[in-house]
Chains A and B, each alone.
Chain A
Amino acid sequence: MTDGPLIVQSDKTLLLDIDHAMSTECRRAIAPFAELERSPEHIHTYRLTNLGLWNARAAGHDAEMVIDTLIKYSRYAVPHSILVDVAETMSRYGRLRLEADPIHGLILVTTDTAVLEEVIRAKKIAPLLGVRIDNDTIAVHPSQRGQIKQSLLRLGWPAEDFAGYVDGQAHDIELKQDDWKIRPYQELAAEGFWHGGSGVVVLPCGAGKTIVGAAAMAHAKATTLILVTNTIAARQWREELLKRTTLNEDEIGEYSGAKKEIRPVTIATYQVMTKKKDGVYAHLDLFDTHDWGLIIYDEVHLLPAPIFRFTADIQSRRRLGLTATLVREDGMEGEVFSLIGPKRFDVPWKEIESQGYIAPAQCVEVRVNLSETERISYATAEPEERYRFCATTRTKRNVVESLVAHHAGEQILVIGQYIDQLDELSETLGVPLIKGETPVKEREILFNKFRTGEVTCLVVSKVANFSIDLPDATIAIQVSGAFGSRQEEAQRLGRILRPKSDGRSATFYSVVSRDTIDQDFAQNRQRFLAEQGYAYKIIDADDVFQGKI
């Protein structure tokens, strides 16, 4: 028995005691093969997954190194079965290889004939294969590269992909670091991605994912297609790229509802890509019109289904996914991994915070008591109306007013789900509202005013959930949300995480009606952040009214 920081559990989770002197060292050692699951205050949870172990193999680590690391840092003796399992799992990787072949295009080669025999008999694999070339080789339809990789992964025989990536049309892109410097973790993330070929980088909101994208482009030095959530985000990407790279205005095109420019670097919105015209996706051709060397998916957790399907067909192009919260309420995380690529980089939010790259934030849940009459109406409301009812109670409005008054002088965002509620709030507080129907131009003007400080408080609907860069916002007040969505909560917190010029910390208020399903949903919403180490503080609405915050 050593006195290490790591406890290896029999269900293949690894518990890392971060108060231990060796924890940082250990974290670095296990990061290549274990996936970070939760990172609250004291003990971080990692998990050994097949995917993680195979990724480690792909990155050149072998089973012995993994086992040595586990034994070295483990506090208690490591269960033998886990060690055996690690060795076995890792030995499955690389017995099948996808290779480029001058005659057949793409071939599947094995070092173990029995494995090939097994997989070619699998129902899901057979249709993807071509002629058998010899005992150990079989042709694969080049268009099925994504499919076959996915299916092989599910069978437990991951193929090592040696077929490489197309370089795409070369286009010189450099980072222009004269008045700023790329942060170490951004560089690590970009490199991690580049060596892996494709994959997903997970960084907290406000930690500068755009720069990781830019750095990846500088690695690829090729024409790039960037997919983002909306037009505002597209414009922000454009600004950022102009500022951070050698690209000039003519090299960056916007492909959105408003404009259809195709340039060496094209930024397209998911919305326009998935727009149907006469029943077909008219704009998906964009993937093919150009010989892209890199495709970047911003906010990959929102990737819509049609793009998933299309992505399967472009496995020979490099793909980078960016997100803060790889939590999909639809459970499609697995699809993201196999189609875009595995997670290449992940880091606990609190670690970035401690390095000062995102603002320290405090999360506060304000519990509001419903009035007697509200309680009765809530109790008798139709089940499907209940959440709306308790999320939009009048008392919440009073609390928001008090909070805004309390934080006068700071940059405040009031975020909500229900437009009626937001309309009312906007009216009561006398501040502008940005919602879905607000024209892009007006949104930009308002956001600009907010950035300059001309406007100190904005009421926003879910349109501002993502990708909106508002550096000086320090207070966010959430009055309602999309039920129990964990990633929405995290994204909303993300709006105020950009480091402040004066190093101030940010505060995130979530106003919740006590003893209603609002409270239950809030608990679920908070889970992601709680697992990232954000401890919620619960206060009573009365405390807010009395100024005791």
Chain B
Amino acid sequence: MQMRSFTDYLRSVDDAALLELFTLRADLISPVPSDIASLAVRACSAPSLARAIDALNQWQFQILEACAVINEPFSEKQIVAVTEKAATEVISELIARGLIYPSDDGMRLPNSVREVLGNEIAGLGPASMAKINLKKLDDAPAAATKVLERLIWGPPRGSIGDIKNPGAGVAWLLEENFMVPLDQRTVILPREVGIYLRGGKVHKDRSVVPPEIKGSKRDARNVQLAAIANVATVLRWADEILEYWAQEPADALRAGGLGVRDLKIIATHMGIDENCAAFIAELVYLAGLVTIDADDKILPTNNFDIWLTQSASVRWQALAAPWLITSRVSGLVGRAESKNTAALGPELDRVNAASTRALVLKLLAENKDVAPELESFTKRVKWCAPSKRNPGLQEEMVHWTLREAEWLGITGQGVISKYGQEFLSGADLEIIDADLPQPVDHILIQSDNTAIAPGPLVHDVAAVLAIIADIESRGGATVYRFNDTTIRRGLDHGKTGDEIISFLRKTSKTPIPQPLEYLIADVAKKHGRLRVGNTSSFIRCEDPALITQIISDKRLEILSLRRIAPEVMICDMDAHDVMNVLRNAGYLPAAESTNGMLLTGPRSSRAQSKPRPPRIIGELEVPTDAALTAAIRTIRVGEKSSHKQSTLRNIANNALGALPRTTANETLDVLLKYIQEQRSLSIGYADNNGAVSHRIIDPLKISAGSLIARDHGTGEMQTFRIPRITGVAPL
């Protein structure tokens, strides 16, 4: 069977090869194609090829470029000739990826590969049509050499003044077909000439081996210590941001996400910079611990409550795992060039974010003895995944990922920690629990009204303390401060003074200083001494006996009176109704105003709203002379203009039967003529929806594809786009 096409090739390979292809290009089997033919179509489609090409490292990419610039079919030998010996290995790798394939007469590229690689691959021009004698290049005149030097490494195009009158160098090159004219002003260097001048190679630097990662060595113990500190810190940050939002929910922007102001607020609250705050915000968002609620409030979710009860390793994993695979890039928040990109907002997703992150972490894991230095590390990343589309972002992504890995404790002092290694290998993370400082369940209270938790507090103690004290300092330990406001807050949360004291007595390792006990007792004594409530009416009486009688009067139960003092009762009903009920029951109440005045006499009511007498209809006032003359003037002026408009409209309507139709050139000619003669004319003009209307205009000038003219219909200057003018006709 003859084998020329990629489909033929795919039909010929064994299962192992297909398996490898699918492993390397997972998109080919999602969904699974029905047969080899459709597989081939998919594998040759531009998106799939682009994805496959993106996955190549620098060296593989260079070989593919070399294959693409050589005429098909080609042999391995030819490729080695224009690159390096090491190319042979890569060729089989490229075959495995289906980016080149062997056929009967040599190797070929699937159809679309060249298109995906783009024009002027490797900075080389198109193949020459004419026969050329490359040897002659060696004795090219100096002027020609100078021109060539500029074009050797691409781009292969150059612009010249005028093709008919080139300089001496260019003229020689054109003559010898070493340069081909593209148009009046552009020339291009043919591929053969380029390769010849490049010394027979396609690329200047052939990146056979990956660039080395440089970095500084770190003490392994310190790395671990730093990493565990980072783990503890990131957990605390997450805790703090969520607690903060639980107390003071931030408002999401209308476009979605966290506003700059709110970001600043949480950054200040946590004592970290805004980049870090944005990262933490995204982290808890990805982990599902926070969400943007229906009323646009950013609030912790129920998961937060579950999260709080979990062990440190589980909590950490809940943060780190989504980060690893997300396509969202928190580093984009708050950059000068993208001010409106908000954390938790819709604009943070980037293609390749996850793969770049994975690559960075993989390289970190491979170089686990050094804290990589950013520059060499970035070079290595670029070699592994040369990003064709957005190299700037990739560089930043590397920087951000290293930074975020440190914040998370995947690295410590820049070196991958054992937690990071275990995490990346998917192992159990119980070592985190073992290495984190064990939670303490006690505090030390001091006479300056502070309490210190000398380590991470167990959750329920921390929760109570958060209510009855303010946090003054955070870190490995927590410093709390008590004052009357915080104690009052505790009381407002339903604790009694005694409960607070006994809680502190139980929790504190040191005796409670007497001033603090007094403080709590004092505040508790005063708390709630004043009571405030809502009511509609009150009943008071100098004689408590009468009040008692009313309270026990069965007929008045309907009023559901409540006695709040020996001489005062309150009722939720309106004072007027209460009076009526009381009167019916045979009592003799009198009304009292809010400032204590006795309201006697018959009750007479007044409306609450402002007076609004009805309008008078049918009768008119006699207008003044001035008003009359003004009215006449207005009418006359209006009449004049409407008459003018209606005549014009008539003309236009008359012409409607024959909407002017002219060709584009005619239109322009006529317009120019009328502009010169300054005369009115009628045009057909298409609006946004394609409906053509008839206008009478005075053309004024033409500029930038538009006609500026006065429309008689509106009497205003208007801009007409010339392509939309369907035709012109004289009036």
Binding site for B on A (CB under 8 A): 1, 7-11, 13, 15, 17, 38, 40-43, 45, 71, 74-80, 365, 515, 519, 523, 526-527, 530-531, 533-538
Contact of B112 with A by CB under 8 A: no
Q: Mark contacts of B446-458 with chain A using CB atoms, 8 A cut-off: 1 yes-contact digit, 0 otherwise.
A: 1111101011000
Q: Say whether A9 contacts B474, CB under 8 Å.
A: yes
Q: What is the CB-to-nearest-CB distance from B451 to chain A, in angstroms, rounded to a whole number?
A: 10
On whether A9 and B450 interact (CB within 8 A), knowing A76-B437, A80-B230, A365-B515, the answer reads no
Determine whether the beta carbon of A530 is less than 8 Å from that of B229.
no
Using A80-B229, A515-B522, A535-B447 as known contacts, list a sample of 14 further A-B pairs with CB atoms less than 8 Å apart, ordered by residue number in A. A1-B435, A7-B477, A13-B475, A15-B473, A17-B454, A43-B454, A75-B437, A77-B225, A78-B226, A79-B229, A365-B515, A535-B513, A535-B514, A538-B515
Answer yes or no: B190 CB below 8 A from chain A CBs. Answer: no
Contact present for B447 and A41 (CB under 8 Å): yes
* A530-B448 in contact given A7-B476, A13-B479, A41-B510 (Cβ < 8 Å): yes
Contact A77 B452 (CB under 8 A): no
Partner of B447, one of A7, A8, A519, A533: A533
**Contacting residues, chain A, for B474 (C-beta < 8 A):** 9-11
Name A17's closest neighbour in chain B (CB-CB). Answer: B454
Inter-chain contacts of A8 with B (CB < 8 A): 475-476
Q: Does B444 belong to the interface (CB within 8 Å)?
A: yes
Interface contact B229-A75, CB-CB below 8 Å:
no
Contact A45 B479 (CB under 8 A): yes
Known: A40-B447, A77-B226. A11 touches B271 (CB 8 A): yes
The 3 closest A-B pairs by CB, nearest first: A9-B475, A77-B229, A535-B447
B contact residues around A42 at 8 Å (CB): 444, 446, 452, 510
Does chain A have a CB within 8 A of B413? yes
A530:B447 contact, CB within 8 angstroms: yes
Chain A residues contacting B522 (CB-CB under 8 Å) are 515, 519
Choice from A9, A519, A530, A531 contacting B476 with Cβ under 8 Å: A9
Q: List 22 A-B contacts (CB under 8 A).
A: A1-B435, A7-B475, A7-B477, A8-B475, A11-B271, A11-B475, A15-B477, A17-B454, A38-B448, A38-B450, A40-B447, A41-B510, A42-B444, A43-B444, A74-B476, A76-B232, A365-B515, A515-B522, A523-B515, A534-B447, A535-B514, A536-B515
Say whether, besides A15-B479, A80-B406, A531 and B232 are in contact (CB < 8 Å): no
* Residue with the highest number of chain B CB atoms closer than 10 Å, among A17, A77, A536, A538: A77
Chain A hits for B98, CB < 8 A: none
Identity of the chain A residue whose Cβ is nearest the Cβ of B438 in the assembled complex? A1
* Shortest CB distance B426–A (Å): 25
B446 closest partner in A (C-beta): A40
Q: Whole-angstrom distance between the alpha carbons of A38 and B225 in the complex? A: 28
| Residue in B229, B236, B450 whose CB lies within 8 Å of A40 | B450
Given known pairs A10-B271, A11-B271, the reply for A43 and B229 (CB within 8 Å) is no
Report whether A43 and B447 are in contact in the complex, using a CB–CB cutoff of 8 Å. no
Report if B291 contacts A (CB, 8 A): no
Q: For residue A10, which residue of chain B has the nearest CB?
A: B475
Residue of A nearest to B224 (CB): A77
**Chain B residues near A40 (CB-CB < 8 A):** 446-448, 450
Q: Do B514 and A43 have beta carbons less than 8 Å apart?
A: no
Interface centre among B271, B448, B513 (most CB of A within 10 A): B448
Cβ of B228 within 8 Å of any chain A Cβ, yes or no, is yes
Using CB atoms, name the residue of chain A closest to B456: A76
**Contact mask for chain B residues 224-244; partner A; CB cutoff 8 A; 1 contact, 0 none:** 011011101100100000000
Central interface residue in A10, A43, A519, A537, by most chain B CB within 10 Å: A10
How far is the CB of A509 from the nearest CB of chain B, in Å?
15
Q: CB-CB < 8 A to B437: which residues of A?
A: 1, 75-76
User: Nearest B residue to A79 by beta-carbon distance?
Assistant: B229
The answer to whether B331 has its CB under 8 Å from any CB of chain A is: no
Interface residues of B in 232-275 (CB under 8 A from A): 232-233, 236, 271
Q: Do residues B449 and A530 form an inter-chain contact, with CB atoms below 8 A?
A: yes
In Å, the complex CA distance between A526 and B474 comes to 25
Cβ–Cβ < 8 Å partners of B444 in chain A: 42-43
Q: Which residue of A lies closest to B414 (CB)?
A: A80
Contacts of A17 in B (CB 8 A): 454
CB of B372 to closest CB in A, whole Å: 16
Q: Which residues of A contact B452 (CB under 8 A)?
A: 15, 42-43
Chain A residues in 8 Å Cβ range of B479: 9, 13, 15, 45
**Do B455 and A9 touch across chains, with their CB atoms under 8 A apart?**
no
Contacts of B225 in A (CB 8 A): 1, 71, 77-78
Q: Are A13 and B518 closer than 8 Å at their CB atoms?
A: no
Question: Would you call B475 and A79 a contact (CB within 8 A)?
Answer: yes
Q: In whole angstroms, how far apart are the Cα atoms of A15 and B474 in the complex?
A: 11
Q: Is B412 an interface residue (CB 8 A)?
A: yes
Q: Which residues of B contact A523 (CB under 8 A)?
A: 515, 519
CB neighbours (8 Å) of B513 from chain A are 535-536
Q: Please name all residues of chain B whose beta carbon is closer than 8 Å to the beta carbon of A365 when the two chains form the complex.
A: 515
A7 touches B454 (CB 8 A): yes
Give every chain B residue within 8 A of A15 (Cβ-Cβ). Answer: 452, 454, 473, 477, 479
Once the chains bind, are A11 and B473 in contact (CB under 8 Å)? yes
B467-492 to A contact mask, C-beta < 8 Å, 1/0: 00000011111010000000000000
* Closest beta carbon of chain B to A206's beta carbon, Å: 21
Chain B residues with CB below 8 A from A530, complex form: 447-449, 515
- Cβ < 8 Å to A, chain B residues 625-676: none
- Check B518–A77 contact: CB distance below 8 A: no
Q: What is the minimal beta-carbon distance from A67 to any residue of chain B, in angstroms?
A: 10
Q: In the assembly, what is the distance between CA of A45 and CA of B455, in Å?
A: 15
Looking at the assembled complex, report how far the CB atom of A517 sits from the nearest CB atom of chain B, in whole angstroms: 12
Interface of chain B residues 418 through 455 with chain A (CB within 8 A)? 435, 437, 444, 446-450, 452, 454-455
Question: Of the candidates A7, A13, A531, which one forms a contact with B448 in the assembled complex, judged by CB atoms under 8 Å apart?
Answer: A531
Bound CA span A523–B452, Å: 20
With contacts A9-B476, A42-B452 known, is A77 near B447, CB below 8 A? no
What's the Cα separation between A536 and B446 when bound, in Å?
Answer: 11
Closest to B406 in A: A80
B514 near A76 with CB under 8 A, answer no
Residues in B whose Cβ lies below 8 Å from that of A527: 448
Distance in Å: Cβ of A47 to nearest Cβ of chain B: 10
CB B53 to nearest CB in A, in angstroms, measures 39
Interface hub of B413, B475, B518, B526 (most chain A Cβ within 10 A):
B475
Q: Contacts of A9 on B, CB cut-off 8 Å?
A: 473-477, 479
Q: Is the CB of B518 within 8 A of A80?
A: no
Nearest chain B residue, comparing its CB with the CB of A19: B444
- B413 to chain A: which residues have CB within 8 Å? 80
- Closest A residue to B474 by CB, please name it: A10
Distance between Cα atoms of A526 and B513 in the complex (Å): 13
Distance between Cα atoms of A75 and B233 in the complex (Å) = 15
In the complex, A40→B516 CA distance in Å? Answer: 14
The verdict on A13 contacting B473 (CB below 8 Å), with A76-B229, A77-B232, A78-B229 known, is yes
**Residues of chain A contacted by B518 (CB below 8 angstroms):** 538
Q: Hey, which chain A residues are within 8 Å of B230, CB to CB?
A: 79-80
Within 8 A of A (CB), among B510-559: 510, 513-515, 518-519, 522, 526
A504 to B26, CA, bound (A): 87
What's the minimum C-beta distance from A347 to chain B, rounded to whole angstroms? 18
Roughly how many angstroms separate A174 CA and B473 CA in the complex, as a whole number? 47
B476 nearest CB neighbor, chain A only: A76
Contacts of A1 in B (CB 8 A): 225, 228, 435, 437
CB of B180 to closest CB in A, whole Å: 51
- In this complex, the member of A38, A530, A533 whose beta carbon has the largest number of chain B beta carbons within 10 angstroms is A530
Residue in chain B with minimal CB distance to A75: B476
Contacts of A533 in B (CB 8 A): 447
User: Shortest Cβ distance from A89 into chain B, in angstroms?
Assistant: 16
* A-contacting residues, B191-237, CB 8 Å: 222, 225-226, 228-230, 232-233, 236
B166 to chain A, nearest CB (A): 49
Name the residue of chain A whose CB is nearest to the CB of B437: A76
CA distance A24 to B454 in the complex (A): 18
Whether B514 and A536, one on each chain, are in contact in the complex, defined by CB atoms closer than 8 angstroms, is yes
CA distance A523 to B487 in the complex (A): 15
